[in-house]
Every structure is written in C-alpha cells, then in structure tokens.
Amino acid sequence: MPPPPPRVDVIILGAGLSGLSTAVHLHRAGLAVKILEARDRVGGKTCSREVNGSVCDVGAAWINDSNQSEMYGLARRYGLELIVQNSEGEMICDEGIGRHRKHPYGELRVAEDGSDGEEISEVRRVRDVVEEMCQGIDVRDPVGRYGKENLDLDAITFEEWLEGIGAGEHAKNAMRVGTRALLGVEPGEMSALYFLDYCKSGGGYLQMRGDRKHGGQYLRVKKGTQAFCKGLAGELPDDAVVLMAPVRRIEQVAGAVRVTSARGAYEAERVVVSVPTPLYKEIIWSPPLPADKLEMARSTMLGDYCKSILFYKTPWWRRHGLTGMSQSARGPIGVTRDTSVDADGHYSLTCFLVGQPAREWRLRSPEQREKAVLAQIQQLFGKFAEVDEPIHVEEQIWKDEQWSQGCPCPVFGPGGLTKFGATLRAPMGRIHFVGTETAFEWKGYMEGAVRSGERGAQEVLLALDNAAKL
C-alpha cells in the first residue's frame, strides 16, 4: 500500500502575484502552505530578463505610489528602486486614416488649419462619455446598481455601445487602441459593461491609461517586476514552492483535497486556485466544476498581448522633443513607451502588439515580425525624428505561453457579468479562487492580483475557523 501523500494546511496553484500573496498571508497566520507552479520560475505574468547589463520587463511592468497601495508597499518592503515613467515631450498618434500627428502628452490638439476640428471634438466627446459611464459603475455590484440600464450594457458589445452613442470612425479608432492596450481584445469582443467595470476598477478610463501621478503606468521597477514575486517567495519556507509541477487533478475527498501534479500528489484542508479561468480546462476536477463555473471558464477569453522591446545606444527620440510614446489604430504596434533605465545607460522603446493586429503579427516568422516592427517605428517616428537602428530586440508572445495563453486577464463577452459575476469568486467546497480578474480594484494589474490573494487568504482563514468551531 503506497504511503499517503504529504499533507499541508493549504495548497496553492500558481506562483504568480496572486498565489504568492495568498501564501504569504496564510504563512503569517501560522498555516503550512505548498505552492505548485507549472513553470520553471516564480512570477506568472511578471517576467524580467537581463539584457546588456540591465533588466527589461516582458510582462507586467508598471505600478503607482498613490492608489496602488499594495504594490507600492511591496516595493518599499523589498527596497526596490522605482523609475518615473517618462511623459515629457510630445507623443505621436497614427489615427488609422493615413495621417500622423504629434502633440504634448495628455492633450488633443486641433491642426493649425483647423481641418480636423470636428474629428478631435468627437474623440473628446466619446472619451468623456466613456469616463462618465465608468464613474457610474459600482465595482462591487456592476450589474445591480442601475438595474435594467446595466443589464442592457452587458447585453451588447462595447463596439455596439460606441455605435449607439454615435461615435464616428475617428473616435472608434481611438477607443480601439484603448481596448487593445488595456485588454488585448477588440471592442466587439467584450461586453460594454465589462469594459466600463474594468476601467472603473482602476479609477476610470483616463486614470487606468494614464502615465503620470495616480495613473496605471506611472512607475517602473529598475530591477524588474519579477522582483516582487521573488521577494514574496523569499518570505516562505525554502520548500514551499514546487516548480515544474503543473496540476493535473483536484479531488475533494473526505475531510481533505487531494491535488495531483507532475511532481507528485499532496493533500490539504483547503486549495486556492490562482490560474486564469480559461485554463481550468487543463485540470480534471472531482467532483466536476459546477455547471455555471465550467460555462464561465469556457466562455471567457484571454487577450492577444505581445511585446517587442527595442534597445538603442542612445534615446534618439528625446533629441527631437518626443516622449517615445505613440499609438496606432493600424498596427501591428498599438502603443509604444520609453522604458529606458538611464542610470544603467539602457535605452529602450517597448512596443505593445495587441488585439487583432497581434494575432496576425505573431503568426509570422521571427524575422518577419522584427521587420514589421522596425518598419512601423520608422513610419511612426520618421516624420518627426531621425530613427536609429536598434542594437538588440527582445520579444515576448504571451499567447504562446502554455501556462498563460494570453494577457492580461480573462474577458467576459456580452451577458457574462450578468450570468457569471457572482460565480467568478465563489468557492467550490474546499476550493477557493483568486487572480487579478477576481479583484474589485485594479483588475488586470499587479495590484489587483495581490489584493485578490489577500481576499483568498481571508476566505481560507474564515473557513478554517468556522470548521474548527463545528
């Protein structure tokens, strides 16, 4: 007769920020934890690589120090040096209609001849309506607060909603850039209510997309954001994290949960799952997942999110008064940002290839992908600057990551929030669910992941306390 599996108090699936956050809180409460991680590293969608003596982030990369208290607290706890995102100068917009413009960051200027005045006014109007609608969402109850109005918003796509408010092609292109940049999907692929709720979780559309104080992209980490996960893992016992251990089966048995991974089986009082909902299909559940949770997992989608980071000898864009920021509705690049670390003599532009353009781009050969990126950088910046040749290109395609299958978090289509909003976070017997998509604040961001882990830990502690009282 084989010996029983090793037993701990809580098993956690995934050593990303949400799983590690859960584990650290439970460990501090005196519980024995075991994290089973499918990859050969901790970090999840934080992934930092050393390049030419510096570090670049091919995954999650930004925090702020005002409304992302958990991430800023971790940065202070681990003594991580932060870099303010460069937003000084002018940015470039490719409006998808054969015209490029540059304007100071945060402004939408009409051309000197006034020829695009109506188009710019329309972009501002639609942007402001989106922001106003965001602010009316209750992130704790996005469907219920306004009753039928929000049910209607959940029944249609964001693209259909834009058409309903009379958005012209110019404004729709601007919003298309936004949905791709934030979620890696097209406006027609998600519920209008889901997008508005997602943005409200980060304070609103403008704040979530912002690069200055309070914005979602205000601060970067000099050593890379994977340092957060390494720091959290360092607070746990040396044997708490088991790498290269994808979980194949979760079985609720009498008085326990048995988890079978590629590195062996374990038992625990409780299990916390911190993998994205579309990956639930990779696991055999016994008993099976409830019908609503299974349908939810099958109906959510992860965005197409890729990065191509271009390294240069000098920050040539700054010589021409440019921020290094650009946005394009045509693609394949949707957005660029200056991700230099000046103190290290490391100068780079990070190109985001997202949504439908990314789906087409990632099917090309590596040589063709790089050629397309460099051609678009020339197209975007060449009118306003002398563009240097990069000395190195670093690439990441998150859709090709077996244990991610996309970024930044699962998206609901029409009707999803109404049908599955409560199901998303609901425990299943002794199994609990966390992840950035389950957060109420800063969904899709590192802050949301850490906060969801705290919620999951509190759920487990309360459940164990209640069980002890029986």
Q: Are residues 62 and 139 in the same domain?
A: no
Split at pLDDT 50, 70, 90, the class of 1 is low
User: In 3D, which of 317, 305, 454, 310 has the Cα closest to residue 384?
Assistant: 317
Pick 181 or 143 by higher pLDDT.
181
Examine the domain organization and report whether 33 and 101 are in the same domain. Answer: no
For residues 31 and 457, the answer to whether their CB atoms sit within 8 Å is no
Same domain, residue pair 399 and 330: yes
Q: What is the pLDDT of residue 114?
A: 59
Q: Does residue 111 belong to any structural domain of this protein?
A: no
* Model confidence pLDDT, tens digit, residues 386-402: 999 999 999 999 999 99
37 among the known binding-site residues?
yes
For residues 294 and 430, state if they share a domain.
yes
Partner residues linked to 191 by β-bridges: 157
Which helix or strand (DSSP H or E) is residue 277 part of? Answer: none
Residue 3: per-residue pLDDT: 78
Residue 342's domain comprises 48-66+82-105+303-403
Given 371, 388, 403, the domain boundary residue is: 403
Q: Are 184 and 305 in contact (CB under 8 A)?
A: yes
Binding residue per annotation — 121? no
Residues 393 and 425 in one domain: no
72: in domain: no
454 in a known ligand binding site: no
**Is the same domain home to 193 and 148?**
yes
Q: How many folded domains does the chain comprise?
A: 3
Residue 435 φ/ψ, nearest 5 degrees? 135, 155
Domain-located, residue 54 = yes
Q: Are residues 94 and 135 in the same domain?
A: no
Whether residue 332 is contained in a domain is answered as yes
Q: Would 450 be classed as within a structural domain?
A: yes
DSSP code string of 117-151: HHHHHHHHHHHHHHHHHHHT--TTSTTTTTTHHHH
End-of-domain residue from the set 382, 403, 424: 403
Instruction: Tell whether 318 is covered by a domain.
Output: yes
Q: What per-residue confidence (pLDDT) applies to 151?
A: 83
Q: Does a structural domain hold residue 329?
A: yes
> What are the pLDDT digits (tens) for 201-228?
999 999 999 999 999 999 999 999 999 9
Residues 439, 449, single domain; the answer is yes
CATH number for the domain including 288?
3.50.50.60
Same domain, 295 and 160: no
**Cα separations (Å) of 336 from 175, 286, 287, 322, 325?**
16, 45, 46, 12, 5
Whether 269 and 343 map to the same domain: the answer is: no
pLDDT average, residue stretch 397-415: 97
Give the CATH number for residue 190: 1.10.405.10
Residue 220 counted as domain residue: no
Element spanning 345, H or E: none
Which class for 68: exposed (0-12), middle (13-18), buried (19 or more C-beta within 10 A)? buried
Burial class (CB in 10 A: 0-12, 13-18, 19+), 295: middle
Mean per-residue pLDDT over the chain, rounded: 95
Long-range contacts (CB closer than 8 Å, 24 or more residues apart) made by 254-263 = 256/7, 256/430, 257/11, 257/429, 257/430, 257/431, 258/5, 259/11, 259/13, 259/36, 261/36, 262/38, 263/36
Q: Is 247 annotated as contributing to ligand binding? A: yes
Q: Give the CATH number for residue 325.
A: 3.90.660.10
pLDDT at res. 4: 81
pLDDT in tens, 426-443: 999 999 999 999 999 999
pLDDT, one tens digit per residue, over 137-161 is 999 999 875 567 788 999 999 999 9
Out of 185, 210, 235, a domain closes at 210
Cα 292 from chain centre: 24
How sure is the predictor about 2, in pLDDT bands with cuts at 50, 70 and 90?
A: confident
Question: 176 and 27, same structural domain?
Answer: no
What pLDDT sits at residue 118?
A: 82
Residues 309-329: what's their mean pLDDT? 98
Question: Does residue 110 carry a pLDDT above 80?
Answer: no
Q: How many residues does the chain have?
A: 470
Do residues 419 and 296 share a domain? yes
The one-letter amino acid code at 311 reads F
